Structure 1
Amino acid sequence: MDMGGEQAVGEVVRLVYRVTPDDIADALRARDRKTPAGRRRQRGYVGCAAGLLLLAVLTALGREGVRPISFGLVAGAATLGAFALYGPRLQARAFGGMLEKVGEVLTVVDDSGVLATTADTQTRIGWSAQPAYAETDRAFVMLSADKQAVGMTCLPKRGAQDPADIDRLRAVLDRNLKRL
């Protein structure tokens, strides 16, 4: 298969799928679990929420006796806690309309990289652009090497034409990327 002027190299795996908000949320959760920046961000949300709750309790148990707890402190803690738990889901929902317009994606993965084709676009991703990947129950998530792992590509397993393609895809990724 032609890969933007290059011939496909070695084993070729084809995936056909529509990207969903669930795919994006899964990829964001994987990034948060597998990258140092993601783990710091999650710990920050939880730590700040705990700090606000502690401050609310200390305020309520001040020197003058029990006082009403500051609603603002509790609301802030609840908001941060909810974002720690549901942040990826909320972020993924923002992509909903755009994902519908993308439609079906044909992705071809081989030892030269990834080629994703939709009705309107064709994107070639070399291994050096996203040199690491994480695997979830539902997808393989390729991640860029920048500090925040901003660049990512979600390859949903349901796009495999044959269950053996998932093992073949994992083998191609293992040969070319660092598994997180």
Structure 2
Amino acid sequence: MDTNMHAEQAATPGGRAVELVYVTTRPELVEALRARSASTPAGRRLRWMYPVLGTLLVLVGALLMVVDGVDTGLSAGLAVSGVVLWALSPLVPRLTPWLLARALGSYVEKAGETRVLVDDSGVRVTTNDSEARIGWSAQPTYVETPGSFVMLSDDKAAVAVTVLPKRGILPPADADALRAILDRNLRKL
């Protein structure tokens, strides 16, 4: 693995490159996935889908009770299912990213130390086992969280995500320098 990316940090058209070195943690993944969920149509849909589906199930269950005149197992089951979905509604936006981060945790741990070079040509990510070059058009938007910059693809679910933890920024660069590069090349959500 290339242990010194500094040699590649020649001045770019908009300024200097920023280097990050870090080991991704599960809490950072959770934070990034929550930011993705809040910033994408698929994530926003998930927030209203449970209450809407819960309401429909309660209404259908109640309608069946009124039409049949008796409480059948089906009508009661639909109504109870609707109430359960309503009860889960506040938990889904918090629980889903946590479960996904837990599932991805072993993959992230295997990657080990991550070295990233961000300049006006794109992002180069190097781990123990892989190297990738991400052009700005592949992930044209980003979200800033308290601890990271999260680059997102522009598909509806924002499947491709790159997490750039602020704690990994090497001196003399700072979060403002990285933010400036991202602002020049990406759309902030």
Q: Which range moves more in the overlay, 167-176 or 144-153?
A: 144-153
Q: Could you tell me the percent identity over the aligned residues?
A: 46
**TM-score, length basis structure 2:** 0.78
Aligned to 1:22: 27
Selected match of 2:117 from 104, 108, 115: 108
- What TM-score do the two structures reach when normalised by structure 1? 0.81
Aligned equivalent of 1:49, options 35, 48, 54: 54
**CA distances 1:36-86 after superposition (whole Å, capped 9, x unpaired):** 332123222332234345556x37974758889534444454456533431
Larger radius of gyration, structure 1 or 2?
A: 2
> CA RMSD, aligned part only?
2.9
Which of 93, 96, 104 pairs up with 1:95? 104
SS where residue 51 of structure 1 aligns?
A: helix
Q: Tell me the secondary structure at the aligned position of residue 161 of structure 1.
A: coil
Paired residue for 2:160?
151
Tell me whether 97-106 or 20-29 shows the greater mean CA deviation: 20-29
1:148 CA displacement? 2.0
Aligned to 2:41: 36
Deviation at 1:35, TM superposition (A): 2.1
Q: Which shifted more, 82-91 or 69-78?
A: 69-78
1:85-113 alpha-carbon deviations (Å, 9 max, x no partner): 31111111101111111111011111111
Q: Please, which runs of 5 or more residues in structure 2 have no aligned partner?
A: none
Of stretches 24-33 and 136-145 in structure 1, the one that deviates more from structure 2 is: 24-33
User: Larger strand proportion, structure 1 or 2?
Assistant: 1
